Amino acid sequence: MAYPEIRIDLNKIETNTRTTVERCHQQGIQVAGVTKLFGGNPEIATAYVAGGVDLLADSRIDNLKRLSGFSLPKMLLRIPMISEAATVVQTADMVLISEPETAKALSNQAKALDKSIQLILMVDVGDLREGLYAMKEIQEAASMMDGLPGVQLTGIGTNLTCYGGVRPSRKNLTQLVNIKTELEKLLKRHLPVLSGGNGGTLSLLETGEIPVEINQLRLGSSLAMGIGLNDEPIPGLQQDAFLLLTEIVELRRKPSIPEGIIGLDAFGNRPVFEDRGNRMRAICALGRQDIHPDEICPLQKGIQILGASSDHLILDVEDCSDLLQIGSYLTFLPTYGGCLSLMTSPYVKKIIIT
């Protein structure tokens, strides 16, 4: 055993995926399984594939490259950099895009490489991340992209919740449907894909509020961690497919208030303390270089996170009735953001259980 470790349960991910894919397929929605949470790790992606996703999607081209062994179509989620246009054309089958200049670059590379790539034009319906905003801009971009060789404008899409925190609603999704209808009139052809957002949109699935025209969702946190809008648990899904295990390296009773003149901590903050007398404390071999302490929640009862420096996690374990020892490990549930850091830290061992 080597800690810290993130333990990844493929059965839970597969079950979450199967449940979600069934719910989506019932409403005519295909699922792009988003792998960025685990850096496009192909072994973990097998759980998505076994659970029935229709495409694999990632925001980074390096992650998509790792998925080349799967026959499912690959989608690039982050609007591409012109500097990566050649790699994008070589690696992805479908790409979310907003800038006509970038579409031109992809077209040139596609011609040069004798390949073809599908474009989903991103429209901003209010969250203010990627996507064109004004109808005139959207129409101009769509007409221009429609005429480019080597690329096919396959549909439009939007993203919500991620930057502005704007919730998906019947209203903003209907706006997306209307834009697609307008573009189809303009281009005089059908646009087959209407990509209605990320896991946040699943909240509208149960209530039947997703317009029928929406036929694709891009899902990551729901499949992998069973969470949706506002990171809240989605009923019927499991939230503990990813667990953090970290080892206790010191276990001592100490005062709860530091002694001496208090200045700034290692991160420039002035810490505040509550005097609770002498308390049993544990230090675990984990720090901010791996994860921010706000992004984990202890699974054992009676454990409180006091703080963390770069390499030490400090816990109050006075009220924990489990037998704790030097060298034993404690288990934590990471948030989405926390999981992203843990999966990205080279210091955290990734242990896949099947």
Ligand X SMILES: *Cc1c(COP(=O)(O)O)cnc(C)c1O
Q: Which residues bind ligand X (CB under 6 A)?
A: 34, 36, 59, 77, 96, 159, 198-199, 218-222
Closer to ligand X at the Cβ: 100 or 199? 199
In the complex, what is the shortest distance from the CB of residue 80 to ligand X, in angstroms, rounded to a whole number?
A: 12
**Dist. CA 185–CA 241, nearest whole Å:** 45
Q: Which is nearer to ligand X, 221 or 335 (CB)?
A: 221
- 71 vs 339: CA distance, rounded Å: 27
Three-state DSSP state, 223: helix
**For ligand X, the closer CB: 3 or 48:** 48
CB of 161 to ligand X, least distance (A): 7
Least distance from C-beta 59 to ligand X, angstroms? 5
What's the gap between Cα 40 and its chain centre? Answer: 11
Q: Which of 92, 1, 51 is nearest to 327 (CA)?
A: 1
Closest separation between CB of residue 219 and ligand X, Å? 5
Query: Which residue is at the shortest CB distance from ligand X?
Result: 220
Nearer to ligand X, 40 or 199 (CB): 199
Contact (Cβ atoms closer than 8 angstroms) between residue 288 and residue 308: yes
* Closer residue to ligand X (CB): 34 or 330: 34
- Report phi then psi at 324, rounded to 5: -110, 140
DSSP character at residue 234 = P
Main-chain phi, psi angles of 351, to 5 degrees: -115, 115
What are the tokens at 249? Answer: 């390296």
Residues 6+ apart with CB under 8 A from 147: none
Assigned token pair, 289 = 């270089």
CB of 109 to ligand X, least distance (A): 21
Phi first, then psi, for residue 266 (nearest 5°) are: -60, -15
Active-site residue, from 36, 111, 301, 350: 36
171 in active site: no
Catalytic positions are 36
